[in-house]
Amino acid sequence: MAAGSGRGLACLTMGPTSRETWAQRLGTFRASPSAFMAGPEGEDLGRHLLSDLRSEKLSEPTKISLLALSLEYPAQLWPDAPAAEAAATSLLDTLVLLPPRPSALRRPLLLAATTALAAGGALGPTSGASRRLLPLLLGLASGRDLGRSFGPASEQRTLQATAWECLRELESCKPGLLGGCLGLLRGLLGQEGAVQPLSLLLALALRNALVIQARARAGLQGLLVAGDWPTEGGPWNWMLAEEGDAHLQPQAPSWPAAEEGECRLATLELSPEEARELRAAVAQLLDASYLLTPVAQAQLLWLLGWALRGLRGQPPVLFKPQLVRLLGTAQLTLLHAVLALKAAFGEALFTAQDEALLLRRLTLAAQHPALPLPARLFYLHCLLNFPENWPLGPAGEEAAPLLLGSQLCRGLLPSLLHDPTALLARLHLLCLLCVEDEEKEEKGQDQSPRRYLEELLAGLRQRAALDGGPRALATLCFQASYLVARCLAGQPVVLTPLTHGLAQLYRAQPALAPHFVDLLDRVGPELGEPLKVVLRQEVVSRPGRDEALRWHLQMLARVADGDAQSATLGFLQAAAARCTDWGLQQALLQVCRALLRAGVGGGLADLLQALARQLEDPDGRDHARLYYILLAHLEEPKLGVALGPSLAAPALASSLVAENQGFAAALMVQEAPAPIRLSVGPHRAKGPVPVLQLQVEVLEQVYSLELRFRVERQIYAPLGAVHVPCLCPGRPTRPLLLPLQPRRPAPSRLAVRALYTTPSGLTCHARLPPLLVNFADLFLPFPQPPEGAELGFFEELWDSCLPKGTESRLWCPLGPHGLEALVSRHLEPFVVVAQPPTSYLIAIRLPPDSRLLLRLEAAQADGVPVALRTDDWAVLPLVGDCLRGLSVAG
């Protein structure tokens, strides 16, 4: 094939300009496709490319380079489905129009048309290009005579293989597309021809069909039995593809982990005949699998493993004959595929002995000197994620398999001579072995992995301490320390020497401070706490030379806390004199800040005052002064919040500005959405003044809540604030009682604001929706008259209303339950004399000093006449509304 570098050829057949232009255009495009598409030539690139493919002036190699571009960047050339469809149509036209002599363009044209359709999302029953391409591919693939237009016989084999690949890609992108051709494919597999592409396509289509049918709860419906060939322009069976459309199928499923796919396949009901056919098809594929290249064999095994997993009545023993052959190879893909089968079928395919053998081969491969390092590392990964028949540990966590003893791992111990990646991988294994060996060691057994581990870590530290060594060495040392601290967090016997070794490393090489800070930020307290202590000692006990000062300060800013205050402050005082440049001063102030947060008091105030005077840089002085003021004025918890991570995005120039934003955010009251919801609860008519019962619904946890109320139009006396120490969502709350002191008896609205502290210490302010106080909420009963004197008491009140007050009559409609219900529900506490069910005398006290008397007598079915008197004429309209409201409420 003349596809390679054919520039010389091109010059013979065409004018150089066009070829040169394309070469340059393609070069620019490849350098940055997005920049090219945004430029002036971008828009028309796709169109020009298609038209120039038919140009007689351009040579074949140039056209091939154009097609190569379309194979890689169809989304840029033809960004939507209609454009992709048009491009595919144009490519197919170009293919058909090629003269019947040998041409290197047919193959890339087929690939390009397939790519355009699949990548552009145009593949489907309504696409004309799809209807042309699919039968064409199937015809080419099956080796049927397609007429002279498809070039000389010499090209047929290449095109045949290409067509199979195109079909496989289309099936991958649109599962079920070839579901209707399963029978045909099976038939072809038995005949001569390219075994590999056919096997892979059949396996893929079979797997997809099984999944789709399982989802539709249908059987295989004779799909495995041969059918008719689809013809060009004729109908294509899109049924399965349309069903499978919404669910792109993983070709290689992720690890079984009992995901849903398994359950889905289990629902597939196959008739005994179908099951037999399926078994035969799989056996046929497996028997011919040795004819495939190793990578293709692996693909076939993944696909078939997935197809049969969880399928009832399909024992995986079909795979058994392949396994021994596969276990002996050095081929990464094959061993990986065996592991996939192991994961898929577990004990059903691998006995305990098989599992041990597989583990042995894997261990061997992970350390085999003849294999490339990346492969060995991957095998090691597989070892730590080995799909055991009966795993003990939690799923998804790396662990040494049960059968992998320290004997097997002897060859996998890490050494300083290893490449960093290999060292870390092997170190992880070693750590896992140390965990297992913990018990044995306690019994005092020989030659422990732990001792080996300690020596290795010491070696790593020694290298990290080298002057002028590459940073990678330091990084490796800290990564190893982190790994050990994480895996062996519960083993002080490992962590103690590690802590001291790291302290020594710091002593030797303070420039590693950023690594130490990073390590402290990431390890748990088991290593973090003791390490912090020894590092602090290390810093404050030896002031060090000047170049180390900035590292010491950086270190101290991380490790300084309330302990060993005087030593720390002493160190800082001594250091202050040597902090001559801005950077050092800032580093010094960072330590002060850390101490402030830790709540260090007295001595620090003196230091800050001294710094505020003595530092050369004004920014530094301001900073010191600010810290001093904060220290002097804020309580400890508030100080912690104020100096905590800044809420405002840190700004650049002056760190003071950035920090001030942080303070402002932390010290000021913030506006926030309401953390609680308030509502007025049931009316309690007792006591000297009306009291609102407020129901609280807690949305967020708040502390020191203060609710402030403001009465609209000042109808009531100003209300006191209500304080609640703490509210938690989900915890029951008692209603809040809010006594009202009306200045006149009228409904009103209360504006409510909440001030509170969040769990993070910020003070917030929120406005709550206003609360409505109804007229009825102000009702209070009169004191109970002595028994027998009720009527007299009422009549006395009745009479006393006039002449100052007023009398009125109104009709109060009644609901289906009648007067009795109305009274018992709303007016019960105020009844003085009752003659159920028709007559009630009611006396209501309206603070501050009004009264309302009601006579409900001679009730009828649909209503009751109400005679009322009050000594405050202003309440009359309110009474009317209120009574009508009560009757509506029932």
Partner 1 sequence: MAQRAVWLISHEPGTPLCGTVRFSRRYPTVEKRAKVFNGASYVPVPEDGPFLKALLFELRLSDDDKDFSESRDSCSHINKTSIYALLIGGEELWPVIAFMKNGMIYACVPLVEQTLFPRPPLISISGISQGFELLFGVQGFLYSGQKNDSELNTKLSQLPDLLLQTCPFGTLLDANLENSLDSINFASVTHPQKQPTWKAGTYKGKPQVSISITEKVKSMQYDKQDIADTWQVIGVVTCKCDLEGSMPNVTISLSLPTNGSPLQDILVHPCVTSLDSAILTSSSIDAADDSAFSGPYKFPLTPPLESFNLCYYTSQVPVPPILGFYQVKEEEVQLKITVNLKLHESVKNSFEFCEARIPFYNRGPVTHVEHKVSFGQLEVFREKSLLIWIIGQKFPKSLEISLSGTVTFGAKSHEKQPFDQICIGGTAYLKLHFRILDYTLTGCYADQHSVQVFASGKPKISTCKLYRFKLT
Residues within window 97-156 making contact with partner 1, judged by CB under 8 A: 107-108, 111, 114-115, 118-119, 121, 154-155
Binding status of residue 39 toward partner 1 by CB under 8 A: no
Paired with 856 in beta bridges are 840, 866
Q: Which is nearer to partner 1, 172 or 695 (CB)?
A: 172
Binding status of residue 507 toward partner 1 by CB under 8 A: no
Least distance to partner 1 from the beta carbon of 327, Å?
6
Q: Which stretch binds partner 1 (CB under 8 A): 131-139, 356-364, 700-708, 855-863?
A: 356-364
Least distance to partner 1 from the beta carbon of 320, Å?
13
Could you give the count of Cα atoms lying within 13 Å of 632 in the half-sphere of its Cβ?
Answer: 11
Residues between 187 and 226 with contacts to partner 1, criterion CB under 8 A: 191-197
Binding status of residue 542 toward partner 1 by CB under 8 A: no
Q: Which is nearer to partner 1, 330 or 669 (CB)?
A: 330
CA distances from 46 to 24, 34, 109, 546 (A): 16, 14, 15, 64
List, in order, residues 6 or more apart from 524 with CB less than 8 Å away. 485, 486, 489
Per the listing, tokens 């190793």 go with 294
Q: Which is nearer to partner 1, 223 or 485 (CB)?
A: 485
List, in order, residues 6 or more apart from 808 with CB less than 8 Å away. 867, 868, 869, 876, 879
Q: For residue 163, what are its two tokens?
A: 């067509």
Instruction: Work out the number of other CB atoms within 10 angstroms of the CB of residue 499.
Output: 23
User: Considering only residues 10, 19, 22, 33, which one is a binding residue for partner 1 as defined by CB under 8 A?
Assistant: 33
Q: Which is nearer to partner 1, 44 or 419 (CB)?
A: 419
Rounded distance between C-alpha atoms, residue 267 and residue 274, angstroms: 15
Residues between 162 and 181 with contacts to partner 1, criterion CB under 8 A: 162, 165-166, 168-169, 172-173
Q: Which stretch binds partner 1 (CB under 8 A): 161-169, 728-736, 758-766, 774-782?
A: 161-169
Could you give the count of Cα atoms lying within 13 Å of 44 in the half-sphere of its Cβ?
Answer: 6
Rounded distance between C-alpha atoms, residue 267 and residue 548, angstroms: 69
Q: Which is nearer to partner 1, 4 or 682 (CB)?
A: 4
Least distance to partner 1 from the beta carbon of 291, Å?
4
Binding status of residue 538 toward partner 1 by CB under 8 A: no
User: Considering only residues 57, 217, 500, 522, which one is a binding residue for partner 1 as defined by CB under 8 A?
Assistant: 522
Least distance to partner 1 from the beta carbon of 203, Å?
12
Least distance to partner 1 from the beta carbon of 513, Å?
9
Residues between 238 and 277 with contacts to partner 1, criterion CB under 8 A: 248, 250-255
- Residue 452: φ, ψ to 5°: -60, -45
Asked whether the CA dihedral 171, 175, 181, 186 is positive or negative, the reply is: positive
Paired with 811 in beta bridges are 865
User: Considering only residues 89, 94, 130, 363, which one is a binding residue for partner 1 as defined by CB under 8 A?
Assistant: 363
Residues between 422 and 441 with contacts to partner 1, criterion CB under 8 A: 424-425, 428
Of the candidates 142, 61, 121, 128, the one whose C-alpha atom is nearest the C-alpha of residue 91 is 128
Q: Which stretch binds partner 1 (CB under 8 A): 134-142, 475-483, 590-598, 865-873?
A: 475-483
- Residue 426: φ, ψ to 5°: -70, -35
Binding status of residue 774 toward partner 1 by CB under 8 A: no
The single-letter code of the amino acid at 829 is P
Tell me if 548 sits within 8 A of 507, measured CB to CB: no
Least distance to partner 1 from the beta carbon of 618, Å?
28
Least distance to partner 1 from the beta carbon of 332, Å?
5
Least distance to partner 1 from the beta carbon of 302, Å?
5
> Which is it for strands 839-846 and 831-835: parallel, antiparallel or unpaired?
antiparallel
User: Considering only residues 215, 279, 360, 625, which one is a binding residue for partner 1 as defined by CB under 8 A?
Assistant: 360
Q: Which is nearer to partner 1, 18 or 475 (CB)?
A: 475
Least distance to partner 1 from the beta carbon of 654, Å?
23
Opening angle at CA 785, ends 781 and 791, nearest 5: 95
Q: Which is nearer to partner 1, 234 or 525 (CB)?
A: 525
In terms of Cβ atoms closer than 10 Å to its own Cβ (0-12, 13-18, 19+), residue 877 is exposed
Q: Which stretch binds partner 1 (CB under 8 A): 267-275, 358-366, 563-571, 837-845?
A: 358-366
Residues between 450 and 469 with contacts to partner 1, criterion CB under 8 A: 462-463, 466, 468-469
Least distance to partner 1 from the beta carbon of 117, Å?
9
Q: Which stretch binds partner 1 (CB under 8 A): 216-224, 514-522, 790-798, 811-819?
A: 514-522
Least distance to partner 1 from the beta carbon of 220, Å?
24
User: Considering only residues 96, 97, 291, 728, which one is a binding residue for partner 1 as defined by CB under 8 A?
Assistant: 291
Residues between 2 and 31 with contacts to partner 1, criterion CB under 8 A: 3-5, 30-31
Least distance to partner 1 from the beta carbon of 740, Å?
54
Site string for partner 1, 305-344 (x = CB under 8 A): -------------------xx-xxxxxxxxxxx-xx--x-
Q: Which is nearer to partner 1, 293 or 445 (CB)?
A: 293
User: By three-state DSSP, how is residue 285 classified?
Assistant: helix
Rounded distance between C-alpha atoms, residue 616 and residue 761, angstroms: 35
> Angle between the 513-522 and 525-541 helix axes, to the nearest 10 degrees?
150
Binding status of residue 279 toward partner 1 by CB under 8 A: no
Least distance to partner 1 from the beta carbon of 326, Å?
8
Least distance to partner 1 from the beta carbon of 409, Å?
9
Least distance to partner 1 from the beta carbon of 14, Å?
21
Q: Which is nearer to partner 1, 551 or 794 (CB)?
A: 551
Q: Which is nearer to partner 1, 374 or 813 (CB)?
A: 374
Q: Which is nearer to partner 1, 71 or 534 (CB)?
A: 71
Residues in the chain: 890
Residues between 379 and 408 with contacts to partner 1, criterion CB under 8 A: 380-382, 385, 387, 396, 407-408
Least distance to partner 1 from the beta carbon of 577, Å?
28
Residues between 567 and 586 with contacts to partner 1, criterion CB under 8 A: none
DSSP one-letter string for 796-815: HHHHHTTTTSEEEEEEEE--
Q: Which stretch binds partner 1 (CB under 8 A): 355-363, 434-442, 702-710, 722-730?
A: 355-363
Of the candidates 671, 683, 722, 679, the one whose C-alpha atom is nearest the C-alpha of residue 698 is 679
Of the candidates 845, 693, 696, 717, the one whose C-alpha atom is nearest the C-alpha of residue 781 is 845
Of the candidates 345, 420, 335, the one whose C-alpha atom is nearest the C-alpha of residue 382 is 335
- How many residues bind partner 1, per CB under 8 A? 130
Q: For residue 403, what are its two tokens?
A: 């059968």
DSSP one-letter string for 86-136: HHHHHHHHHHHHS-SS--TTHHHHHHHHHHHHHHTT--STT-HHHHHHHHH
Residues between 41 and 80 with contacts to partner 1, criterion CB under 8 A: 68, 71-75
Residues between 477 and 496 with contacts to partner 1, criterion CB under 8 A: 478-479, 481-483
List, in order, residues 6 or more apart from 515 with CB less than 8 Å away. 474, 475, 477, 478
End-to-end CA distance of the chain: 94
Instruction: Work out the number of other CB atoms within 10 angstroms of the CB of residue 417.
Output: 7
Q: For residue 651, what are its two tokens?
A: 């700004």
Helices (H), 655-783: 655-667
Of the candidates 724, 666, 663, the one whose C-alpha atom is nearest the C-alpha of residue 698 is 724
